Amino acid sequence: MLAHGAAALSDTELLAIFLRTGTAGRSVMELAGDLLARFGNVKNIIDADCDSFCQIKGLGQAKYCQLQAASELMLRHHKAALGRPDGFSSPKAVTRFLRGHFSGRKHEVFACLFLDNKNRLIACRDLFQGTVDGASVHPRVIAEQCLRLNAAAVIFAHNHPSGVSDPSQQDIAITRRLVNLLDTLDVRVLDHFVIGYNNEFSMAEAGML
């Protein structure tokens, strides 16, 4: 890893470095392989609950907590990057943060990223849960948050637990409604991301805003 960088390592090798040691009769590489065989991929390992994780012989609550802490550190790293003046210059930086933010969610969550007049992140708030439509997303709440945080711009995001990132007609309708409302408050809507399992959809890139 020191010679070639962490990206050159396989999932099994990265997990082996994290686990450090194996168990009686099982090397650390074999233990890492057991984890991948049980959960399928790294995302599922991180998203697993403690009981499921600890079902692998040789793993316990301490390792589970370490893994969750490492995941949270990465999320905070991405969040800090969005606080820089150039934080939103790359859509990839935003989607990396959003993927971490929605990781492990079993239900649909509508989040809002509030930005200052230099497009730096002020706060990221989960505002609503459930299907994104006119009944579950309340524009008045979003407007109140914008005023309270003195936000100059916002980015909306919600996840599709089904894994498909294509926006529904309800997604598009509520976005247009929010754009019209926030325009009266001089708050710019920069984008609305729909986050799927291994893909994302940007309404701004699709010309929907």
54 and 101 belong to one structural domain: no
> What is the CATH classification number for the domain harbouring 146?
3.40.140.10
Which range of residues forms the domain containing residue 191? 88-202
129 is a domain residue: yes
173 is a domain residue: yes
Q: What is the mean pLDDT of the chain?
A: 85
Which of these, 73, 155, 148, 82, lies nearest to 114 by C-alpha position? 155
152 and 100 belong to one structural domain: yes
Angle between helices 28-39 and 11-19 in degrees, nearest 10: 120
Q: How many CA atoms lie less than 13 Å away from 180 in the CB half-sphere? A: 6
Is residue 79 within 8 A of residue 115, CB to CB? The reply is no
Domain count along the chain:
2
108 and 162 belong to one structural domain: yes
24 and 105 belong to one structural domain: no
52 and 92 belong to one structural domain: no
70 is a domain residue: no
CA distance 173 to 100: 26
95 is a domain residue: yes
20 is a domain residue: yes
| 121-169 pLDDT tens trace | 888 899 998 766 545 888 999 999 999 999 999 999 999 988 888 999 9
47 and 112 belong to one structural domain: no
| 46-86 pLDDT tens trace | 888 899 888 888 888 988 898 888 877 877 776 676 656 55
| 165-184 pLDDT tens trace | 899 999 999 999 999 999 99
Whether the predicted pLDDT of 2 surpasses 90 = no
66 is a domain residue: no
